Each structure stands twice: as structure tokens, then as C-alpha cells.
Structure 1
């Protein structure tokens, strides 16, 4: 895969900083010989409004902490609901907020200063992480309220319940949506997911061990294996573990 275009949002309510960070990005892009697609937003609300329609457009967001309307921390927490993988770099004129940012899973802090020598290093560091992650496939779920994008590596299993599918993330969060598990099986046949029971489609990377009746997951969950599926589960799991041992 060649260098994919990296999309970046800068969100700051002061024009002077929007201009400044855009020109910093353009100069670092020239230096690293990469293409950047830069979008500017002058409020957290404007950024979130845009992300509602295009939740995975940006790989990196530069976010001012102190803005009129909702502040950068609140904005970041809402961004995280729409996209768990985008890199967030906070821009701040004071270090007072540093501790609030851990909740938003921020990559870095930059103190706002027009003679900022850390900018290029921070950008290069985050850019390398993004390049490594671009290849991480995301699973998209649309519920009546939201559109979620979840890395496959964070999904432990899917459960079929009445007319719903429940996506169980490895951290035990759940997302419910109207869907058929049979459609999901077809959709995910090239991914390491296996139907252990007509109600459970499990990510093999989370299987700790298999018994004749149950599958034990690495996050402590135990799920039933149906008698009809046991032999196939055993074979697929054996092959999956062997292949991954060689990697």
C-alpha cells in the first residue's frame, strides 16, 4: 500500500492559530514529502457536526482545549464515541488541563506558542502510529443513534438475541443493533471469526481454551459451544493458532 493521504482536522476558535498550525503542517508535509488533507474548524460543535456524517474521515485531530461553546476536552470525549482510533493532539495555552485529557485518550499535548519546536517531532511520532494503523480494518455498526467504527481487534464476540445482534467489545462494552447473525457470518468469513453456537460468533484471537461444551475467552467470558459446531470449531481454532504461531 503506498502512502495513503492522511486527513487532519485543526479545531481552534482563533484564526491566528488555525493559520499557524496549518502552515506548520504544510511545512512538515513538504519536509517529509507526504500529502496531507487539512480541514479547519473554529468550534468543537462544528467539528462534531462534521464527524456525525464522516466519523472516520480524520486520522489526526489537533484540538484547542479552551474554546467558546463546548471545550476541547468535552469535544474529544464526544469524538471518541464516534471514532476510537483517531489520534487527538491537544493544543493548550496552559498546563492546567493535562490531567483531564487522559479520559479522552489523547496522544499528545502541545503548548500553544508561536515558537513551537516540538511540533514537528510530535507530528512525526503520531504520523508513524497512524501509518501503522491505517491497515487496521474497522468494523462499522450503524444503530438508530450512532455510527460506530470499531477495530476488529477490539471485538470479542457477537451475540444474536431476538432480532438484534449485540457486539461485545473486549472491554465488555456492548453495542446493540438490528441485524441477522447469519448475514454477519457471511460478511466476516475472511476474518478470524467462528460460529461456536447459532447465537455466538467469536473472534478467535480472544479464545483462551475450548472444551467440549464451552469456549473460554481471554476477558473472562465463558460461552457455550453447540454439539454440532464443536468439531469445526476445534479444527478452525487449531489451524488459526498454528498459523499465528508462525508469524
Structure 2
């Protein structure tokens, strides 16, 4: 079952996309549960206690007081990891949407059926693979399973790894940094220092010998790692932008 939320303040658009989603799901024999919302406020309120409920969110950008970009930012702060697809009649906001990591940006009047299906199926595929995007860390009898999307960075001190995730949460366990690097290889994490590994999607800006994360934290960048970090980040940005 794939849980999908559709949020748009225009009833005709809601009807149109509800039909498209149901028709596409039926065509590809995908079992879905679809819920609709008519404002960003109502969507945020509904998800305040259950941010992980939806797998996919179709979200209009141009809405009343709380537009789609700000709605998505609030949802991400709540811990929502759903695949977000923006709907809009204008391309003006495409770069503003990068901060919330949407998978696509659909123009309402210009999206062909074939394109809609491609984006829908990609979202379903990504949401289905989300279980593979978990990080498992164990400390004695206790263990923690964390979505990689929630992890901003790791630091290590005398063999103790601290994973930083969610809303300033931490979990400590034993592992070498080399072992951790192997575990994270190919998953958009980069070593910035002999004691730090950072999630590329959390980098907000580069400073002198450091990177500032979207969480506000400043992480040191060692001299020997600086060029590699910048190259990895630029490759990541190019790849993300190419998906739009």
C-alpha cells in the first residue's frame, strides 16, 4: 500500500490530479490510499503527530497564506521523509524548492500523461526503496534504526561514533571511522575531517575550513579533505538539478 497526500487549494485541480493518480495506480496495479487537503495549514496540522504517514505528497506551490514551499519546509522540520512532487503554474519557484529535496516539479498545464506516469512511478519506486535507506547502529543490547535522510552528520572520538539526526537527537555506539565510511559509501555522505562525516544534502554553505549545515552546526573541513568535499558537493548539486 502506497499512501499519497494531495494538497491544493483549487478544487478543480484536486479533482484532476486525484483522477490522474488513481488512474495511473490502477493501470500499473499499484495499491494506494489517497487523501486530499485544501491548504498547507491543514496538511501540516494533520501530519504534526504522524509525519511519516505519507509515502508521496503532491503539493501545490501557489496557495493562500502558507505556500507549498513553506509547507514543505514545515513538514521536513516535523521529520517528514515523504517523496514530494510540486505542482504549479509557474517555473519561478523551482530553485526555491531545492531546500526540501523534492523529486520533481510538474507544471499543471504542460504535463503530459506520459510524463505524469514517469514521475509517479519514480516516486513509488523511491518510496518502496526507503526501507533500504536506513542506517542501523547498535550499542550493547540497544540499537537504533534511522532514515539516512534524517542524519546530518557523524563524529567520532576515541572510537565512539555519534550519529546526529532528527531534531538535535544523538545516538552513540562503537565503530571505526573507516568501517563507517564503507557502510555509507555511495549514499551521499562525505568525510570532511579525520573525525567527521557529513550528509551532502545538509550542507548549506562553505566557510573557511568548515561547512555550515542546514541545522546551523559548523563542521570542520580538514585541509587534505577540502577539494574532495567541494567536488563531491558540486557533483551532488548537478545530479539533483538534472532531475528537474
Q: TM-score range by the shorter chain?
A: 0.5 to 0.7
Greater mean deviation of Cα atoms: 80-89 or 17-26: 80-89
The count of aligned residue pairs is: 177
What is the correspondence of 1:154-169 to structure 2 with a 5 Å cutoff? 154=151, 156-157=153-154, 167-169=163-165
Q: Secondary structure at the match of 1:62?
A: strand
* CA contact 1:88–1:106 (8 Å) conserved in 2: yes
CA distance in 2, matches of 1:70, 1:119: 25
Q: Which residue of 1 aligns with 2:125?
A: 128
CA distance in 2, matches of 1:81, 1:27: 32
CA distance in 1, matches of 2:150, 2:77: 17
Q: Is it true that 1:64 corresponds to 2:60 in the alignment? A: yes
| 1:150 Cα offset (Å) | 3.7
Q: Is it true that 1:42 corresponds to 2:38 in the alignment? A: yes
TM-score (norm 1): 0.60
TM-score (norm 2): 0.61
Q: Which residue of 2 aligns with 1:195?
A: 174
Greater mean deviation of Cα atoms: 122-131 or 65-74: 122-131
| 1:155 Cα offset (Å) | 6.5
Greater mean deviation of Cα atoms: 112-121 or 92-101: 112-121
Q: Please list the CA deviations of residues 129-173 of structure 1 after superposition, one character each: whole Å capped at 9, or x if unmatched.
A: 22222343378xxxxxxxxx643893654899xxxxx7425xxx9
Q: Which runs of 5+ in 1 are unaligned?
A: 140-148, 161-165, 185-193, 209-216, 224-247
Q: Please list the CA deviations of residues 90-140 of structure 1 after superposition, one character each: whole Å capped at 9, or x if unmatched.
A: 00011111121112211101111287422111111221222222343378x
Distance 1:206 1:120, change over 3 A: same
Larger Rg: 1
Q: Which runs of 5+ in 2 are unaligned?
A: 137-145, 184-189, 197-244
Q: Which residue of 2 aligns with 1:206?
A: 181
Greater mean deviation of Cα atoms: 128-137 or 46-55: 128-137
Q: Secondary structure at the match of 2:59?
A: strand
* CA contact 1:156–1:202 (8 Å) conserved in 2: no
Q: Secondary structure at the match of 2:85?
A: strand
2:134 to 128, 131, 137: 137
